[in-house]
Amino acid sequence: MQNSDKLKEVVFQFIDKNDNTEVKPLGAGHINDSFKVKSGDKEYVLQRINHSVFKNVPELQNNILRVTTHIRKKLEDKNVSDIDRKVLTFIPAHDDKLFYEDEDGNYWRMMHFISDSKSYDSINPKLAYRAGLAFGEFQKMLVDLPGEQLFETIPNFHNMEFRLDQFRASVRSNLAGRLMEVNNLVKEIEARAEEMTKPERLHREGKLPKRTNHCDTKVNNILFDKNDEVLCVVDLDTVMPGYVLSDFGDFMRTGANTGKEDDTNLDNVSIDLDIFEGYTKGYLQNAASFLTDVEIENLAFGAKLLTYMQTVRFLTDYLDGDTYYKIKSGKHNLERTLAQFKLLQSMEENFDKMQQIVLEAAAENKTPSEK
Ligand code: GN1
Ligand code: MG
């Protein structure tokens, strides 16, 4: 279902037929397939939703509709200009649903392409500050999302206890026969398991709330304009209830890494404290007003946790024989695991500094009555 004519057939489920239509691959997500569509003078993004990962597509799209409608309303109330480039707009299929299911059981959706935008896989402290403001604002706008909580598009997505259960099951079944090769990593993961499941315990004790989170705050999920001002937060598949430390942590895992997520030269990989500081300042400028002390005290921990969680998830997939993430080579998931583990070790070495940066930025952003 991927050749150009078939893709165009899908496109015409959402917009009127036009002979002047082109479809090209776009982006580098690990889960969905994305395409850029040009039809006449209009540009769109077409996506095939990975249905084995996102099992309930109607609920997924319903979440996204609720979130984008709410954000649009907030931007309108503030008289923000150029709103169509600041929030995603999905295009209903001809039957008015926000997705289309083809005869092979593939699910598709289409949205407007945000013009003159770009994303970065690695950024500088100034852009990190702007990214922090953007994700802080994103969470803040969603604090009062009306109605019930959002649907959990992937149940237990950032639940570390659950991720460890999955990992241990994969170790036991050793489906791809790769356990021997990664024995040391398994020990390193187990040695940190107690520490890393702390948020679930705090939540059960009523000390750590769940809020509407983005749950995939990778650095490349922010679109900037040509002047490097933030336009829009994208990739809303996983917007669902979660701990704010997860969103904070996932940005640091991706944006504050001096190397790449799958760097094979581990000397490249470490925590960049200037980026950590830039993002923290931006984030807390917008978020300090609604966060509790416990949430703030655990933000730096969130950076460690999300890096650990990604180490565990990549290793689980390696043990399972690469069934979840798209891979570029047979060892890709192992390379990703090693690079994430190296980043985790660097965060552990620098943890006191990270914590200090967070607490100082939080103190600066407390309202006078809270000081
Ligand atoms: C996946 O596909 P992408 O790049 O948006 C994953 C994230 C991981 C990330 C690792 C639904 O995101 O949770 O952190 O890869 N998304 C899902 O880079 O599993
Ligand atoms: Mg994603």
| Closest ligand to residue 153's CA | 1
29 C-alpha to ligand 2 centroid (Å): 7
- Residues 198 and 245 placed together within one structural domain of the fold: yes
In a domain, 146, yes or no: yes
In a domain, 136, yes or no: yes
pLDDT attached to residue 29: 86
In a domain, 235, yes or no: yes
pLDDT attached to residue 147: 75
Look up the domain containing 84 and give its range: 4-112
Give how many domains the chain has, as a whole number.
Answer: 2
Q: Is 31 in the pocket of ligand 1 (CB under 6 A)?
A: yes
Residue with CA closest to ligand 1 atom 19: 31
Between CA 69 and CA 146 the distance in angstroms is 11
- Residues 338 and 190 placed together within one structural domain of the fold: yes
Say which amino acid occupies 78.
K
Average pLDDT, stretch 347-351?
Answer: 98
- Residues 193 and 88 placed together within one structural domain of the fold: no
Judge whether residue 238 has pLDDT over 80: yes
| Closest ligand to residue 332's CA | 1
Between CA 364 and CA 315 the distance in angstroms is 39
The CA-CA-CA angle for residues 250, 327, 6, to 5°, reads 105
In a domain, 118, yes or no: no
Report the atom number in ligand 1 closest to the C-alpha of 54.
11
pLDDT attached to residue 65: 96
Average pLDDT, stretch 108-114?
Answer: 97
Q: What are the residues whose beta carbons fall under 8 Å from the beta carbon of 329, sequence distance 6 or more?
A: 335
Q: Is 53 in the pocket of ligand 1 (CB under 6 A)?
A: yes
pLDDT attached to residue 369: 57
- Residues 318 and 344 placed together within one structural domain of the fold: yes
Residue with CA closest to ligand 1 atom 9: 30
Judge whether residue 367 has pLDDT over 90: no
| Closest ligand to residue 53's CA | 1
In a domain, 120, yes or no: no
pLDDT attached to residue 28: 76
pLDDT attached to residue 52: 94
- Residues 224 and 308 placed together within one structural domain of the fold: yes
Q: What is the pLDDT of residues 177-205, one digit of tens each?
A: 999 999 999 999 999 999 999 999 999 99
Report the atom number in ligand 1 closest to the C-alpha of 215.
13
In a domain, 371, yes or no: no
Q: Is 216 in the pocket of ligand 1 (CB under 6 A)?
A: yes
Q: Is 262 in the pocket of ligand 1 (CB under 6 A)?
A: no
Judge whether residue 34 has pLDDT over 90: yes
- Residues 108 and 181 placed together within one structural domain of the fold: no
Residue with CA closest to ligand 1 atom 7: 216
pTM of the model: 0.95
Boundary residue ending a domain (61, 80, 112): 112
Question: How confident is residue 311, by pLDDT bands cut at 50, 70 and 90?
Answer: very high
Ligand 1 pocket test: pick from 218, 316, 332 the residue with the most ligand atoms within 8 Å of its Cβ.
218
Judge whether residue 241 has pLDDT over 60: yes
Average pLDDT, stretch 243-251?
Answer: 97
- Residues 223 and 250 placed together within one structural domain of the fold: yes
Between CA 42 and CA 35 the distance in angstroms is 14
- Residues 139 and 106 placed together within one structural domain of the fold: no
Cβ pair 286, 133 in contact under 8 A:
yes
- Residues 141 and 51 placed together within one structural domain of the fold: no
Residue with CA closest to ligand 1 atom 13: 216
- Residues 148 and 106 placed together within one structural domain of the fold: no
Q: What is the pLDDT of residues 57-74, one digit of tens each?
A: 999 999 999 999 999 999
138 C-alpha to ligand 2 centroid (Å): 16
Buried b (16+ CB within 10 A) or exposed e, 248-266: bbbbbbbbbbebbbbbeeb
Cβ pair 302, 243 in contact under 8 A:
yes
Residue with CA closest to ligand 1 atom 1: 30
- Residues 322 and 200 placed together within one structural domain of the fold: yes
Q: Is 30 in the pocket of ligand 1 (CB under 6 A)?
A: yes
Boundary residue ending a domain (112, 140, 161): 112
Q: What are the residues whose beta carbons fall under 8 Å from the beta carbon of 156, sequence distance 6 or more?
A: 162, 163
Cβ pair 234, 88 in contact under 8 A:
yes
Residue with CA closest to ligand 1 atom 15: 30
pLDDT attached to residue 9: 96
| Closest ligand to residue 326's CA | 1
Say which amino acid occupies 112.
H
CATH of the domain at 354: 3.90.1200.10
119 C-alpha to ligand 2 centroid (Å): 14
Boundary residue ending a domain (77, 112, 147): 112
- Residues 230 and 317 placed together within one structural domain of the fold: yes
Ligand 1 pocket test: pick from 52, 152, 216 the residue with the most ligand atoms within 8 Å of its Cβ.
216
Report the atom number in ligand 1 closest to the C-alpha of 154.
11
In a domain, 119, yes or no: no
CATH of the domain at 47: 3.30.200.20
252 C-alpha to ligand 1 centroid (Å): 14
In a domain, 9, yes or no: yes
Least confident of 26-40, 67-81, 233-247, 355-369: 355-369
Q: Is 333 in the pocket of ligand 1 (CB under 6 A)?
A: no
Strands 100-101 and 33-39: unpaired
